[in-house]
Amino acid sequence: MLTGTCHCGAAHWTLEGDPGPATACNCTLCRRYGTLWAYDYEGERIRISGPTAAYARADKPEPMLEIVFCPTCGCVLCWRALRLYPEGRRRIAVNLRLADPGAVADIQIDHFDGLDTFKDLPADGQCVKDLWF
């Protein structure tokens, strides 16, 4: 199980099982937050606890997701889809940068062009440790 916590320790996430590769996205939000995402569904393998606040883009007619953060220290915990999948599940991704570096060091990074093409970029073999250490 992986765990992540905000800077002040009030808000947490857990992710059960293999997180798969992390996604580094260059969209207007992710590049500002410097996040690395691991995905699943809310209340299944991913759980969020503690006080949180959320931000959804106001410039979109129907925002697709919200950014969830600690209201005390401001650390971004996750993004959460605003719509449910047909089977009633909600997509969520936790910010791996809130985990202990040693626990996520060898997770492969997938790069995603969320700014221009909205497509996966070619793999370059980088892992989280290549960005942090």
Per-residue pLDDT of the chain (133 residues; tens, 9 = 90+): 999 999 999 999 999 999 999 999 999 999 999 999 999 999 999 999 999 999 998 777 778 899 999 999 999 999 999 999 889 999 999 999 999 999 999 999 999 999 999 899 998 999 999 987 6
Q: Tell me if 2 sits within 8 A of 90, measured CB to CB.
A: no
Of the candidates 56, 54, 55, 75, the residue with the CA atom closest to the CA atom of residue 10 = 75
Structural domains of the chain, ranges and CATH numbers in brackets: 2-132 (2.170.150.70)
What does the pLDDT read at residue 132? Answer: 77
The DSSP code for 14 is E
Of the candidates 40, 4, 1, 36, the residue with the CA atom closest to the CA atom of residue 22 = 36
What does the pLDDT read at residue 37? Answer: 98
What does the pLDDT read at residue 129? Answer: 94
What does the pLDDT read at residue 131? Answer: 83
What does the pLDDT read at residue 27? Answer: 92
Q: Which helix (H) or strand (E) holds 103?
A: helix 101-104
What does the pLDDT read at residue 42? Answer: 93
